[in-house]
Amino acid sequence: MEATEKTARQMEFLEKARGAAAAYAERLGHAPRSYIETFGCQMNARDSEKLRGILREAGFADAREENEADLVLYNTCTVRDNADQHVYGRLGRLGGNRKSHPGRIVGLCGCLMQEPHAVEKIKKSYPFVNLVFGTHNLYAFPELLYRALTEKKRVFEIEEKTTVLPESLPVERKHGFKSGVNIMYGCDNFCTYCIVPYVRGREISREPEDILAEVRHLAADGVKEIMLLGQNVNSYGKKLAEPATFAGLLRRICRVEGIERVRFMTSHPKDLSDDLVRAMAEEKKLCPHLHLPVQSGSDRLLKQMNRHYDRAHYLGLVEKLRAAVPDISLTTDIIVGFPGETEEDFEATLSLVREVGFDSAFTFIYSKRTGTPAASYPDQVPDEVAHERFDRLLAAVKEGAERMCGRFAGQVAEVLAEEENRQPGYITGRTPHNLVVHFPGTKEEIGKIVKVRLSDPRGFYYFGERV
């Protein structure tokens, strides 16, 4: 069956799911309520918006909290062991409450479900879970939902690779004014520590026309800020029948009327082109922020990690970017305790952090992922050594981030108002540099871009005044 036929078939299942949900509503005595919990990255967050869109179309209302839900769905992550443990912890809690929710549908999907050992564990130890599917059959959620609503048996459906992209499905966005847009799925890089290529499959780029149509549609629906999503956006389009480049795509997206800000993640340093650097300098709608994961400052470890660049290349990119976009914000990801990491390797990472001056960094302790090459490397770093290095790294990151954040003090910034602050009368928003600012405002302003003076630096964020 062709992909388009498969998608059309899902629209028929959505109709059937609507009927089954109506029957469920009769048994319950109210419209069924659903609750989705998303673990992991922005890909999963975007997938959850698609799942929510389908549930809404099928007639499910949003539950305010998990406990009042008639259908609970966990969209899981497995990038590090603590992500797995988080899911199992929440499942344990859900199992403890199951007596008070007979007949409730409990579903699991996302990256952890692409791991056979996890699926086995769910089958055996969590009998109350009655719907399981993976990242490759997200597109079939209408059918899976229908089956979960009508079959007595537990529904387990995991596909091994992507045959149909999860597109042309209803979507329910979390925010009206900003949206993620998938430009590619999967990853071909096989960094030796990383599970993502195994659970998300091979890299597939969407056609530029399809992406642009989606962006235009979002703009017409009031979206101002777009976040383009992919595990390595810099390799976008290379394998398309008519090859396209990421920089070219960005320029076309910046032309879409109504879109005011364009962001993207994640960039891999090995594929960052001069063309992209030029686009960053020239395109006014492109935000002056780049998330550029470095992982380590040691050439020896970068090689072991299969990252395909060295420290000098990374520093060269930083220099080029700063020459093109003088006040650009740079953020990164760093792993400590990769197998074989010596004190000297770690010092190289620390010195790179000091040399670059990151606006912020996500720091992770290496987590062994079964099936990845690094899991069987000798010299796994003892926990206490990794933790001690992690603390030192965090201190260096914090020191740099505070210094970088301070550079905006006194400036007036265009801030996209995003949400109400806990402090009454205050709104929280972001500058084009991705800096968080709290400022006096009302919830009617959410989704608008307003001018704010960055008057009061607080380490990693600002309190500002309206101008």
Binding site for ligand F3S (CB under 6 A): 40-41, 43-44, 77-79, 111, 196, 199-200
Q: How far is the CB of 341 from ligand SF4 (least distance, A)?
A: 17
Query: What is the DSSP annotation of 180-214?
Result: EEE-EES-----TT--HHHHH-S-EEPPHHHHHHH
Select the residue interacting with ligand SF4 from 10, 135, 182, 232 (CB under 6 A): 232
Give the bridge partners for 220, in sequence order.
Answer: none
When CB distances to ligand F3S are compared, the closest residue is: 40
Select the residue interacting with ligand SAH from 186, 293, 339, 457 (CB under 6 A): 293
Q: How far is the CB of 229 from ligand SAH (least distance, A)?
A: 10
Contacts of 83 (CB under 8 A, 6+ apart): 39, 40, 76, 77, 112
Select the residue interacting with ligand SAH from 46, 261, 369, 438 (CB under 6 A): 369
Closer to ligand SF4 at the Cβ: 290 or 437?
290
Asked if residue 285 binds ligand SAH (CB under 6 A), the reply is no
Residues 324-343, one symbol each (x = binds ligand SAH by CB under 6 A, - = not), give ---------x-x--------
3-state secondary structure of 107: strand
* Residue 366 interacting partner from ligand F3S, ligand SF4, ligand SAH, none (CB closer than 5 to 8 Å by kind): ligand SAH
Q: How far is the CB of 141 from ligand SAH (least distance, A)?
A: 24
Closer to ligand F3S at the Cβ: 43 or 317?
43
Asked if residue 367 binds ligand SAH (CB under 6 A), the reply is yes
Alpha-carbon gap, residue 381 to 366, rounded angstroms: 9
CB-CB contact of 33 with 70 (8 Å):
yes
Alpha-carbon gap, residue 120 to 156, rounded angstroms: 11
3-state secondary structure of 61: strand
Asked if residue 10 binds ligand SAH (CB under 6 A), the reply is no
Contacts of 369 (CB under 8 A, 6+ apart): 78, 79, 80, 81, 193, 194, 195, 375
Asked if residue 268 binds ligand SF4 (CB under 6 A), the reply is yes
Q: How far is the CB of 298 from ligand F3S (least distance, A)?
A: 24
Alpha-carbon gap, residue 15 to 142, rounded angstroms: 8
Provide the terminal-to-terminal Cα distance of the chain, rounded to the nearest Å.
Answer: 59
Closer to ligand SF4 at the Cβ: 39 or 462?
39
- Go through the chain and tell me how many residues it has: 467
How would you class 297 by CB atoms within 10 Å of its CB: exposed for 0-12, middle for 13-18, buried for 19 or more? buried
Residues 185-204, one symbol each (x = binds ligand SAH by CB under 6 A, - = not), give --------xx-x--------
Alpha-carbon gap, residue 114 to 294, rounded angstroms: 27
Contacts of 179 (CB under 8 A, 6+ apart): 173, 218, 223, 225, 226, 227
Residue 264 CB coordination number (10 Å): 26
Closer to ligand F3S at the Cβ: 197 or 248?
197
Asked if residue 362 binds ligand SF4 (CB under 6 A), the reply is no
Stretch that binds ligand SF4, among 182-190, 315-323, 384-392, 434-442 (CB under 6 A): 182-190
* Residue 40 interacting partner from ligand F3S, ligand SF4, ligand SAH, none (CB closer than 5 to 8 Å by kind): ligand F3S
Residues 185-214, one symbol each (x = binds ligand SF4 by CB under 6 A, - = not), give --x-xxx--x-xx-----------------
How would you class 423 by CB atoms within 10 Å of its CB: exposed for 0-12, middle for 13-18, buried for 19 or more? exposed
Q: How far is the CB of 186 from ligand SF4 (least distance, A)?
A: 9
Among candidate residues 96, 17, 4, 113, the one with its CA nearest the CA of residue 60: 17
Question: What is the rounded radius of gyration, in angstroms, for the C-alpha atoms of the chain?
Answer: 23
* Residue 282 interacting partner from ligand SF4, ligand SAH, ligand F3S, none (CB closer than 5 to 8 Å by kind): none
Q: How far is the CB of 404 from ligand F3S (least distance, A)?
A: 25
* Residue 197 interacting partner from ligand SF4, ligand SAH, ligand F3S, none (CB closer than 5 to 8 Å by kind): ligand SF4
Select the residue interacting with ligand SAH from 179, 231, 329, 349 (CB under 6 A): 231
**Site residue total, ligand SAH (CB under 6 A):** 17
SS (H, E, C) 357-425: CCCEEEEEECCCCCCCHHHHCCCCCCHHHHHHHHHHHHHHHHHHHHHHHHCCCCCEEEEEEEEECCCCC
Q: How far is the CB of 79 from ligand SAH (least distance, A)?
A: 5
Give the binding site for ligand SAH (CB under 6 A). 79-80, 193-194, 196, 231-232, 266, 268, 293, 295, 333, 335, 364, 366-367, 369
